[in-house]
Amino acid sequence: MKAPRCSFVILVIFACLFMYIYHTFSVAQSRNKGMNDECQTNQKNNISQNFGFDQMNVTENLKYKVPNIVHYTWYTKKPIEWTFLQYLSVLSASKFIKPSRIMFHTNCTPIGHYWNRTTQIPNLEIIQRSPPIKIFGKKVLFFYETSATNIDRLLILNRNGGICLDTDVIALKSFDPLRVYPFTMGSESITKWVLLSGGIILSEPGSTFLKIWINNYVDDQSSQWAYNSGKMPTKIAARFPEDIHIEMTSLHRPSHKELDQIF
């Protein structure tokens, strides 16, 4: 009697072990399927809530569309002293974005101690360039000094591609995860609604969205603050969402109204 009882116990143990292995395998398969479905959904969605290293494993083997070149555009009527914040912007771009070139397009180079420090940053190239005077036959208004800068950065990106930054942008991460998209901008809205900002633009040369944006300068409204650089691309994105990747929180948030989120 002992032998049959022993065989029965062994059989029960094997049955339990089989059920445990089968259950574990099924759960793992279900979890992987859920993750794959989620990944596919996120890939179909133009708007990302998350930027950075979470996407690195997904994107590191993909071909980059945006060249790793950083552009700054700086047009002034007279030499202006360069600030510590502006120096920090270029330095952070060099340290974190690690571009092959930092192209500083200007008609009048800045002055001062921090500009001298900036010129020592590796890969910085000063490109002497006159600001655009007309676009589509219309005179560019300098109602705000940024008007020519906003136009010219689009023309530069259309020709060369790269990453255009305002001089108050501080980079904290590599931009490589975003370079796989043909065109990327970020929203500065603190609500769920999109309000694009031209302070950071990534584009491949001659991207579709960029060409549409440039052509829409026939509706140039430089007298309205941030119309050409913010409201105009926001309207275009609503009509052509397939031509732009939008970062909702990573590029321009926290805003000046969310300083508590910095700490």
pLDDT digits (tens, 9 = 90+) for 39-49: 333 333 343 33
- Detail the DSSP E strand segments found in the chain: 47-48, 69-74, 101-106, 124-128, 134-135, 138-139, 162-165, 183-187, 196-203, 245-247
The mean pLDDT of 164-182, rounded to a whole number, is: 95
Phi, psi of 79 (to 5 degrees): -60, 135
Q: Which of 192, 199, 200, 240 is nearest to 216 (CA)?
A: 240
CA 67 to CA 180: how far, in whole Å?
A: 10
pLDDT at 5 over 80: no
pLDDT at 250 over 70: yes
Q: Percent of the chain beyond pLDDT 70?
A: 63
| Tens digit of each residue's pLDDT (9 = 90 or more) over 130-168 | 887 776 666 766 544 667 788 889 999 999 999 999 999
151-155, 168-172, 203-207, 224-228: which range is least confident on average?
Answer: 224-228
Please give the model's pTM, rounded to 2 decimal places.
Answer: 0.72
The mean pLDDT of 62-82, rounded to a whole number, is: 93
Q: How confident is the model at residue 256 (pLDDT cuts 50, 70, 90)?
A: low
Tokens of 197: 């900002």
For residue 37, the surrounding DSSP H or E stretch is: helix 2-44
To 5 degrees, how large is the angle CA 226–CA 80–CA 223?
20
pLDDT at 17 over 50: no
Q: How confident is the model at residue 262 (pLDDT cuts 50, 70, 90)?
A: low
Residue 39: what pLDDT?
Answer: 33
DSSP helix/strand/coil, 62: coil
Residue 146: what pLDDT?
Answer: 67
Ordered strands of the 101-106 beta sheet = 47-48, 245-247, 183-187, 196-203, 162-165, 69-74, 101-106, 124-128
Residue 22: what pLDDT?
Answer: 45
Average pLDDT of the chain, as a whole number: 77
